[in-house]
Structure 1
Amino acid sequence: MALRKTTAATSESDSETTSSTTEDTEPQTKKYRSTYYSRKSEISTLQQELKTLSERLAELQPQQYLVHRAALQDACTENAVLQQDLHVSDLVLARMQAIWSNETATRMRNPLETYIRLAGDAQQRRATLHALHAPVLDRALRFILERTRDMRLNQSQRQTHTVDATNGDHLLVQFDVTPFPNITNTRHVFDKIQFTVAHQEFQFWEHLNATAVCDSDGMENELASHARFLIATPFGVEIEQNVARFWRFAESSEHLSEPHGIYVIEFIDDDPTYSFQPDRRVRIDISCVILCRPYRYISADGTLEEGVSIVRWTFSRLHRIQCELAPQVKQDLVDMFPRWGEVFRQSIRRYMAKE
């Protein structure tokens, strides 16, 4: 009987223990399962969002490619149109240059040319030159202002055009712009121009080992003067030039409202005192305008650029050679012809460099 009681007690104790263990385990299992399903739900939600975003990205990528491709095509089309427009402009400019070259070769028009006939009497000669002073300078000033309209005078430029005319003359047209930055005294630069012109002929011919003799009216410092040059070249050819010189400096004028100086050299058509002798000498006629004026520009970085610029335009004619010369000598004269205009440019640079 005692044994049975013990067993029953033991069974009862085990039953209580098992019941107690079961009661302790059930809350932990419920808590674990609740966290698991929560995480699983979050993962499922994120996967669904990822799928949705991936599908959207797949939709956008072709659209982005199409947009980029369309933009690239538009840029290429615009570039092609611009290139075509530039090509058309180049063709128009080439056509204009062809017209100008043909006009120069056939008509030989000199926009500065003024018929000048000097009398034998000294007083009449001076009266003629002084009467021509204003109209010659005004005409030349209007021309050179149009020739340089919209041009940047702070940039050095140089152009040379030569042509053999149908009548046997050899023509030379030269144009150059020579800027001197950081110089503000226009009158000072113009004084250098006058000095350069006065010595240009001698410097040029001396450089070629030629001898130049000048007959002048002694009025070099006057606003209008005359000079005749006779040059003996080392290859036995005599060259003659007969020119009138006009100059003016003004703080302002009808055509230009700023300080400026203008110098004009114009050949003489008829002069009984110095008659042309084409059967013995080579004749060179020169029409030249030199304008000295200040310039002011705002550079790309916003700073002010100031200086003085010299603009020169020259129309020269080497008349058909009528005296007996060897073909090589004639060619030497033609080759030498363009170098005359470079003397002024080089000389004025040299004089200004000494400042």
Structure 2
Amino acid sequence: MQSQPSQDIYLEIADEYPLDLVAESSIDKGYDVAAPSANSYQAWLQGDGDEAEPSCERGKPSKNKGREASADKKRKTTYDIRKEKKVKLTAKVEKMQKQLNELKYGVLVQQGEAAESNERVAAGNSVLQEFIQERHVGLANLQAMLATHAQQNIHSLHPVHTIIRLGHDRDERHKTLASLKTRKLHEAMRFITARSRGLDPWSANAQEEWNNAPGGDFCLTVFEQTPIIGASARDVYNAFIDVSHNAEIIISEMFGTITIRENNEFDESEVAQMRLVTSTSQGNVVESNSVLFSEFVEGATDKDESYGIAVADFVDSDELYPYRPEERVRRDTTTIFMVRSYMEAVPPPQDSAHNSSKTAKKAKTEGKRKVVVGSRWTCSKVRRSNLNVSMDVMREMQESAVSFGDTMKTCIQQRLGKAQIWEVPDE
């Protein structure tokens, strides 16, 4: 066992190296060494070397050591900082992974419910589609019934047609026709009102139906309703009456054929007979005998309804102007024409939200505006005769019957001196 160094050696070291410097050097190197006080150093020198220990190892830490330890606790190394961040991020990743798993589970559940919901929607759409198709089929059946009825009863009494028989005496003829006026106008008004019920007065509507059985009569039925722009109901009514009273001139000008009027009586504006004879382009002759009843009812004020009603019906037998089936082809026509003017709410636009708001403001400020509507229903029948009439002649007469309504509209427009009165308004 080595012996303790002598006291002289320690003294010599102490003289050459002050303890303060030794302590500072030890601290710089990482050793926890504090400079002992004079009393502790003296006690070490006096005690046994085996038992004595320096005060720097057994004594209380100095104030400098406490400050250094506190600094070590506050100051962390980069490794520690990264380690703590890693722990936090790992915990956050685990938490987010748990949330992701929950979301995946929720999506799977929703997909299952969506699939079940889609199946229910598909089943509902299928039922609705079947219901709609059944409605269409039901409507088609109804239309077929109406067409079949019209086809099978082509020779029966037409709507608003009244059997008219006229004798030789002109006074009796006049009384007979005058007595029919009220009834004819009432029936015509009731029928055309029912036929146009529910239709939008701002929109044009037309329906055409014809039947042409082999060896039978050709029958054409037309209904149309259209708004009138830039003309009053009174003006349109007067133009219609004027055109009707001069039908022979209009037919000759429009169709390029020769049309004459055989009668010249009953020139009253509200009851007039028209016995017309027209030659075709191939020399055949078509005859018609009709009576026109008309009336216009003016509203008390501009806001009240005004209407004009006219009905033309064919004469069944006329002793003064008899039909000549052995020489001519007979055409029977029943026509109802009505023009009305009344106050109607402005229709909402259907193209854009901007126009919708604009029209809403206009309707709010103006409320309602006057609308003029023209309605026409006609049934024209070209009767087969014993004459050897070619198919071309029959086709010409059929086409003239179809286009006669458009010809009347063109003539009315010319009488008024205005263009496009039958056009549908933009607003």
Pairwise same-fold verdict (TM > 0.5): yes
More strand by share: 1
* 1:27 maps onto 2:79 in alignment: no
Rate the CA distance shift 1:327–1:354 in 2: closer, same or farther, 3 A.
closer
1:132-170 deviations in Å (ceiling 9; x for gaps): 001111111111111111111221222221112477111
**CA deviation map 1:230-264 (0-9, x unaligned):** 112231111111011101111469xxx83211110
In the alignment, the residues of structure 2 paired with residue 125 and residue 114 of structure 1 have an alpha-carbon distance, to the nearest angstrom, of 15
Give 3-state SS (helix, strand or coil) of 2:136's partner.
Answer: helix
Partner of 2:424: none
Note if 1:7 corresponds to 2:13: yes
**1:277-297 CA deviation, whole Å, 9 max, x = no partner?**
100011100000011113624
**TM-score, scaled to structure 1:** 0.86
Matched, 1:299 2:348: yes
Secondary structure (helix, strand or coil) at the match of 1:241 reads strand
> CA–CA distance in 2 between the matches of 1:104 and 1:47?
82
Query: Aligned pair in 2 of structure 1 residues 66, 237: CA closer, same or farther (>3 Å)?
Result: same
Matches within 5 A, 1:3-82: 4-8=10-14, 10=17, 12-13=19-20, 14-15=22-23, 18=27, 19=33, 23-32=66-75, 36=81, 39=85, 42-70=88-116, 72-82=118-128
**Corresponding residue of 2:297:** 250
Q: Which residue of 2 aligns with 1:88?
A: 134
Percent of pairs with identical residues: 22
Which ranges of 4 or more aligned residues in structure 1 deviate by more than 6 Å?
A: none
- Match in the other structure for 1:213: 260
Q: Which amino acid counterpart does residue 4 of structure 1 have in structure 2?
A: Y
Gap runs ≥5 in structure 1: none
Which residue of the other structure, out of 221, 241, 245, is the alignment partner of 2:288? 241
For residues 79 and 201 of structure 1, do their structure 2 counterparts lie closer, same or farther at Cα, with a shift above 3 Å needed?
farther
Identify the range of structure 1 (36-45 vs 316-325) with the bigger mean alpha-carbon deviation.
36-45
Equivalent of residue 198 in structure 1, options 229, 245, 250: 245
Query: Structure 1 counterpart of 2:69, which letter?
Result: E
Are 1:123 and 2:123 counterparts?
no
- The answer to whether the aligner puts 1:158 opposite 2:206 as a matched pair is yes
When structure 1 is superposed on structure 2, of 260-269 and 218-227 the one drifting more is 218-227
Opposite residue 31 of structure 1, the aligned amino acid is K
How far apart, in 1, do the equivalents of 2:252 and 2:71 lie? Answer: 119
Question: What is the rounded CA distance, in whole Å, between the counterparts of 1:190 and 1:332 in structure 2?
Answer: 29
- Once residues 193 and 168 of structure 1 are traced to their aligned partners in structure 2, the CA distance between those partners, rounded to angstroms, is 32
Moved more, 150-159 or 98-107: 150-159
Measured in 2, the distance between the counterparts of 1:145 and 1:287 equals 16
Q: CA deviation at 1:11?
A: 7.5
TM-score by length of 2: 0.73
Q: Partners in 1 of 2:410 and 2:369 — Cα distance?
A: 23
Aligned to 1:271: 318
Structure number with larger C-alpha Rg = 2
Superposition deviation, residue 228 in structure 1: 0.6
CA shift in 2, pair 1:77/1:201, >3 Å: farther
Q: Tell me: CA distance 1:123–1:239, structure 2 relative to 1, closer, same or farther (3 Å).
A: same
Structure 1 contact 226–244 (Cα < 8 Å) conserved: yes
Relative to 1, partners in 2 of residues 1:327 and 1:189: Cα closer, same or farther, differing over 3 Å? Answer: closer
Distance, in Å, in 2 between the alignment partners of 1:134 and 1:61 is 77
Between 1:191-200 and 1:243-252, the stretch displaced more is 191-200
Q: Which moved more, 1:115-124 or 1:51-60?
A: 51-60
The aligned residue for residue 161 of structure 2 is 113
Is the Cα–Cα contact under 8 Å of residues 226 and 245 in structure 1 kept in the other structure? Answer: yes
Amino acid at match of 1:225: A
Once the two structures are TM-superposed, the CA of residue 329 in structure 1 deviates from its matched residue by 2.9
Stretches of structure 2 lacking an aligned partner (at least 5 in a row): 1-6, 28-32, 35-63, 350-355, 420-427
Cα gap change, 1:199 to 1:64, in 2 (>3 Å): farther
Indicate yes or no: 2:196 matched with 1:132: no
Q: 1:47 to 1:90 in 2, by over 3 A?
A: same
Aligned-partner Cα distance in 2 for 1:84–1:349: 47
Measure how far apart 1:68 and its partner are: 4.4
